[in-house]
Structure 1
Amino acid sequence: MKFAVRPRPASALPGVHGPARIHRRTASVLGRLRAGDVAVLDHVDMDRDTAQSLIDAGVVAVVNASPMISGRYPNLGPERLVEAGVVVVDSAGPEIFDRLKDGSDVRIDGGVVHSGDALVAPARELTPDVVRTEMARARSGLAAQLESFTHNSTEFLRREQDLLLHGHGVPRTATEMAGRPVVVVVRSHGWEDELRGIKPFVREQKPVLIAVDRGADALVSAGHKPDVVVVTGDTDDLPSAAVLRKARDVVVLVERGAPRAATERLERLGIRPLRFETTATTEDAALLLASAREAALIVGVGMHATLDEFLDRRRAGLASTFLTRLKLGPDLVDAAALPRLYDGAVRPRHLLGAVLAGVLAVGAAISVTPVGQQWVDDVSPSVSRTTTDLFDDVRGLLP
């Protein structure tokens, strides 16, 4: 006689559980994630910005069909995910997209992906030790990547020389920037701390605020209103429609000669965007926009400042970032450094100096009046007698 066996609930099985959000394009997954989800995607060499977006969404695990670290360069995404306590498995293979359904319950245990009790795909779990080993191997191959970068920089300069050298092709915004400081905000690792650090500067100088992609949502959540929002037309990484409508200017990046359809998505939201035809990254386009409009100073929040961050950019964006930084030169200041140069704080010694200056000014004004002259005449004999007695006492003490 056989007895029916009740399947164990997913919560009773070992490993990490969560509903799967599946798509080969990472941007499509990011727009649908909720806390507790398992992101299933296909992303070679995940960068730190993407990893931070996954962390911010509250995922419990990431399943990557491709290697997280291919060894071509030391990308920072896997390290960031592991540090945040997210379970990461990679090299699960493209067949995982056929074996899993979006929204189905996924369980990851020891680097193996399950759907209930059924094994879906073996994979490799990225532990801190594995990440350190893979990153050390990737750093050893940087020479070849730098040679490729030199070629890409030459090609980018050839395509964008009019933009880089003369500012041609930059749209004219309704927001006036000439002679004003500009703050460009990118939603990246550490942007919150950097924005808090320059709060006195923003409060006192009232700079033009330019947000890049989802940086507009981040800026609004921090209590600021973006003046200009720069977005890419063919991406799912758009800010909310409400935030876009608050901006005075919305600039959309499109390829040269792109049809009007490239901006239809924004126009359907009731927004009339300005076209910016360039192959630069969105972040770099925002910087070039501020430079071409003769901003007095450009402060970058969430920018990629260190060598590791620079190399962690998308391959197509390396040349754009490098040449844009050369173009801006001393006009660009990293927000992390700004508090060391400007804090806007009024210190006690400043107040004391102002009070003393005021007292001296009042005293000088009173002294030239008849009443003031009478006070000086009354005080002078007393001061003179006191000084004479003091000198007599000192002489008496001398041998």
Structure 2
Amino acid sequence: MRVSLRKRAPEPDSTGLVGPARVDPRTKALTKRLRPGDVAVIDHLDLDRVSAEALLACAPAAVLNAARSTSGRYPNLGPDILVSGGVPLVDDLGPDVMTVPDGHVLRVVDGCVYDGETLVAEGVTQTPETVATSTEEARAGLSVQLESFAANTMDYLRRERDLLLDGIGVPPISTVIDGRQVLIVVRGYHYKEDLVTLRPYIREYRPVLIGVDGGADAILEAGWKPDLIVGDMDSVSDRALMCGAEVVVHAYRDGRAPGLARVEQLGVAHVVFPATGTSEDVAMLLADDKGAELIVAVGTHATLVEFLDKGRSGMASTFLTRLRIGSKLVDAKGVSRLYRHRISNVQLTLLVLAGLLALGVALASTAAGQTLLALIGARIDDFTSWVSGLFGWLS
């Protein structure tokens, strides 16, 4: 039973968890201003892995979800990440919790949320046991999701067959990709760790760096500058957009582009790419169409559960895009496992010279070594005298 906002309730026996509320129905937007000790108030059905990891990184006092963190459609990964990370998760609180004014101090006691002494909403506190049970029950929903996946795939193929088969609709860009390797960065699963392991690869091969929305900021944070920024511009910073990278605004097929006004307001040169599907799919199709030799993906979606986590509407495009680019696509983890740093000729020469110098110092420190060096020096003098004499005779 839910209690409406502002209804008086008995004072709880314990103070519970206390913190200022940070309220936003869009989890991605909320994590940008969430601070340690805040109470995150979200409305996120089937909490996905990326959102949960972003919340966990902010170290909130608790996460209050107006919706059900696991609806039973599929075994989503988010609730387990939060609960295993030690963040209290209260589920299914209903819409009343979203009306709490931002910044109000909330108390959370046994699944009940209090604003002062007023009971705002009641929900279910998740535990490792309840999360495990919900996940197991949700596995039964996979068959329904697979049917939806097949239907969405056919629908997407009908609408985007010209783009998928012939590249029709890909806009011209100035960044040279033909014959080069491309690194596409999405702020997704383990993107920070993958970028660290790929440092030697990036330093040696100098691939074209493409940031998908917030992935552009990830590239900047790692110490590089993106060559291209692709996306609907909902999570990329102004700093990234103004860094000098070429900008490709992802638009809907009907031409609507929610992020276009922001880019124009900043005065950033850009092109528009109307296409169905996700921005990471658009980035891959763009790289492939422009002649990329290899496409390395960081933080993108690869498994069925990850496709489902991204949302059912985006699954078909993600699946078909990977079929389209075929063997060009390599996951970042595969590159880090297969890649072996090659020693350049300059590095090899410096290594040999360092070894010879160390040997000379060692020889010079002993009597026998000094005698040997003196003999070598005498031989060199004899050789130079012979060469000088030879050139003198010829002249």
Assess if the C-alpha contact under 8 Å between 2:50 and 2:189 holds in 1. yes
CA distance in 2, matches of 1:43, 1:330: 35
Question: Structure 2: how far apart are the matches of 1:227 and 1:213?
Answer: 13
Give the SS at the match of 2:73. coil
Shift of 1:57: 2.9
Aligned length: 340
SS in structure 2 at match of 1:19: strand
What TM-score results when the alignment is normalised by the length of structure 1? 0.80
Residue 315 of structure 2 aligns with which residue? Answer: 318
The CA RMSD over aligned residues, in Å, is 2.4
Instruction: Specify the code of the residue in structure 2 equivalent to 1:194.
Output: D
TM-score (norm 2): 0.81
Check whether the contact 1:175–1:248 (CA below 8 A) recurs between aligned residues. no
Separation in 1, partners of 2:257, 2:127: 47
8 Å Cα contact 2:249/2:257 also seen in 1 = no
Q: Residue 272 of structure 1: CA displacement? A: 2.4
Name the CA distance, whole Å, in 2 between partners of 1:21 and 1:260.
Answer: 28
4+ long deviations beyond 4 Å: 259-262
Q: 1:247 to 1:138 in 2, by over 3 A?
A: farther
| Counterpart position of 2:273 | 276
Give, in whole Å, the separation in 2 of the partners of 1:263 and 1:308.
31
- Aligned counterpart, 2:106: 106
The residue aligned with 1:331 is: 328
The aligned counterpart of 1:198 is 198
Q: Measure, in 2, the Cα distance between the counterparts of 1:137 and 1:247.
A: 49
Structure-1 separation of matches of 2:92 and 2:238: 37
Q: Which residue of 2 aligns with 1:68?
A: 69
1:119 matched residue in structure 2: 119
Q: Residue 37 of structure 2 aligns to which amino acid in structure 1?
A: G
Within-5 A mapping of 1:1-399: 14-98=15-99, 100-233=100-233, 235=234, 237=235, 239-258=236-255, 263-346=260-343
Aligned in 2, Cα 1:215/1:259: closer, same or farther, shift over 3 Å?
closer
Distance 1:253 1:67, change over 3 A: same
C-alpha distance in 1 between matches for 2:142 and 2:293: 36
Aligned residue number for residue 3 of structure 1: none
| Code of the aligned partner of 1:183 | L
Deviation of 1:109 (Å): 2.0
Q: Is the 8 A contact 2:251 2:257 kept in 1?
A: no
Query: How far has the Cα of 1:262 moved from its partner?
Result: 5.3
1:104 partner letter: H
Tell me how far 1:60 sits from its aligned partner.
Answer: 2.3
Q: Structure 1 residues 136 and 321 mapped into 2: Cα distance closer, same or farther (>3 Å)? A: same
Instruction: Using the aligned pairs only, state the percent identity.
Output: 47
Counterpart contact for 1:52–1:188, Cα < 8 Å = no
- 1:229, 1:247 within 8 Å by CA — same for their partners in 2? no
Q: Structure 1: how far apart are the matches of 2:28 and 2:338?
A: 37
Contact 2:36 2:58 in 1 (8 A): yes
Aligned equivalent of 1:396: none
- The secondary structure found in structure 2 opposite 1:140 is helix
User: Which residue identity does 2:228 align to in structure 1?
Assistant: V
SS of residue in 1 equivalent to 2:165: helix
Q: CA deviation at 1:220?
A: 0.7
SS at match of 1:114: strand
Residues 58, 217 of structure 1: CA spacing in aligned structure 2 closer, same or farther, 3 A cutoff? farther
Which ranges of structure 1 fall in alignment gaps of 5 or more residues?
1-11, 356-370, 372-399
Report Cα offsets for 1:216-253 as digits up to 9, x if no partner. 111111111111011215x3x2x221211114211111
Match of 2:373 in 1: none
